Amino acid sequence: MMPLTLQAALPALDPRMLDTQADAAVRDLMREGSSANTAASYRAAIRYWTAWFELRYGEPFALPLPETAVIQFVVDHAQRSTEHGLKWELPLALDQELVRLKAKGKLGPPSLNTLLQRLSVLSKAHELHGHPNPCRGARMRELVAKTRRAYARRGVAPAKKVALTREPLQALLATCDDSLRGVRDRALLLFAWASGGRRRSEVARATVENTPRTADGFLFSLGQSKTNQAGTTRANDQKPIVGMAAQALDAWLRASGIAQGPLFRRVRRGDVVGEPLAAAALRDIVQERCKLAGLQGDFSAHSLRSGFVTEAGRQNVPLGDTMALTGHASVATVMGYFRAGAAAQSRAARLLDEPDSGPR
């Protein structure tokens, strides 16, 4: 075969590096393929790294960072026990400046969750840009592992949102009156919970078209999700909306007059149905309804998901049936919630309550 010669028409590329146009295209694809919430959290983390690094070292933030700088970041933000109580190394003046620059919301050490998330974002940034990763070094991995252990010994673990199991969910539903907004919120909460604890981005993508009516209620076709980023067709993508959830969704569609497009939308003054709800709106609705119901605790949209799995454990639903609805890819992830729900129902926890019918 004769070799192709296009040099006259196209400039030859160096196969060892991306040209400017290709590099920009990669960034566009990465941005488009990430959820809005993920992209926003990454931007916030990098903004914080940039502000902290430039204030701490007096020079511009640029990748790759040396491992020593990342270690300094950990000790600046992780609390440790001393004879004088808990201590961290971030100077107060620097902390105040970070708040003034709005790189952080308030003074004081971040939660363990926040610290670990910022390290994770920095690690991914290095790997995506092809740099040596300072977060993967043996010293750093040991420091992070021991930091986790230190927090755990103090009774502090990475925070999880409070689960909305059956009883607290019913309390939320009781706050949903017959107003158009109340009808919408009831339908939204039941849709998200009863279909397997849908993520807020998944709820925002629910439409009339991908949630057709069936003889039993509705059938939501999930499509793309956190564990199916490519949106490939899978057997468990069909999520039934039946019973109370179907009745509530039907009531919302009839009251709102929605016949096509997104299911859940804003309700404006005068009961005007507006634009589709953003994913973040689900968090706001959950928190508002929790407040109206008088529930105490740290609730979020994820509380619906964890609540569904925990309740399934309480009611001894087989794990496989639960995962078929939730779409969890990891058994280990779902088992944490599942076992928490099942533990209170375990016979082993109630040995003293059982009648003693054995031989004496």
- Residue 85: which CATH number? 1.10.150.130
Question: What confidence score (pLDDT) does residue 7 get?
Answer: 46
**109: containing domain:** 35-153
Rounded to 10°, the helix 302-314/180-194 angle is: 50
Q: Which of 99, 128, 153 is the last residue of a domain?
A: 153
pLDDT above 50: residue 116: yes
Average pLDDT over residues 212-224: 89
Indicate if 198 and 320 belong to the same structural domain.
yes
Indicate if 184 and 316 belong to the same structural domain.
yes
Indicate if 93 and 234 belong to the same structural domain.
no
Q: Is residue 5 part of a domain?
A: no
How many domains does one find in the chain? Answer: 2
Q: 4 or 132: whose pLDDT is higher?
A: 132
CATH for 331: 1.10.443.10
pLDDT above 60: residue 22: no
Q: Cα torsion at 291, 293, 297, 302 (round to 10°)?
A: -90
In order, the DSSP letters of 16-57 are TS--HHHHHHHHHHHHHTS-HHHHHHHHHHHHHHHHHHHHHH
**Radius of gyration for the chain, computed over Cα atoms and rounded to the nearest angstrom:** 25
Indicate if 231 and 267 belong to the same structural domain.
yes
Q: Which of 120, 153, 186 is the last residue of a domain?
A: 153
Asked if 339 contacts 317 with a C-beta cutoff of 8 angstroms, the reply is no
Among candidate residues 136, 98, 144, 253, the one with its CA nearest the CA of residue 191: 253
Q: Is residue 7 part of a domain?
A: no
Measured CA to CA, the distance from residue 326 to residue 319 in angstroms comes to 10
Indicate if 322 and 182 belong to the same structural domain.
yes
Exposed/middle/buried for 22, CB within 10 Å: 0-12, 13-18, 19+? Answer: exposed
Question: What confidence score (pLDDT) does residue 354 get?
Answer: 58
- Predicted model pTM: 0.62
pLDDT above 80: residue 108: yes
Average pLDDT over residues 341-352: 67
Indicate if 266 and 203 belong to the same structural domain.
yes
Measured CA to CA, the distance from residue 61 to residue 322 in angstroms comes to 45
Q: 26 or 305: whose pLDDT is higher?
A: 305
Question: What confidence score (pLDDT) does residue 349 get?
Answer: 66
Q: Is residue 72 part of a domain?
A: yes
Question: What confidence score (pLDDT) does residue 360 get?
Answer: 53
Indicate if 314 and 171 belong to the same structural domain.
yes
Query: What is the per-residue pLDDT across 164-202, written as a single tens digit (0 to 9) for each?
Result: 999 999 999 999 999 999 999 999 999 999 999 999 889
Indicate if 198 and 263 belong to the same structural domain.
yes
Q: Is residue 283 part of a domain?
A: yes
pLDDT above 60: residue 232: no
Query: What is the per-residue pLDDT across 92-102, written as a single tens digit (0 to 9) for each?
Result: 999 999 999 99
Q: Is residue 28 part of a domain?
A: no
Q: Which of 103, 125, 153 is the last residue of a domain?
A: 153
Query: What is the per-residue pLDDT across 305-316, written as a single tens digit (0 to 9) for each?
Result: 989 988 988 888
Q: Are strands 265-268 and 272-276 parallel, antiparallel or unpaired?
A: antiparallel
pLDDT above 70: residue 321: yes
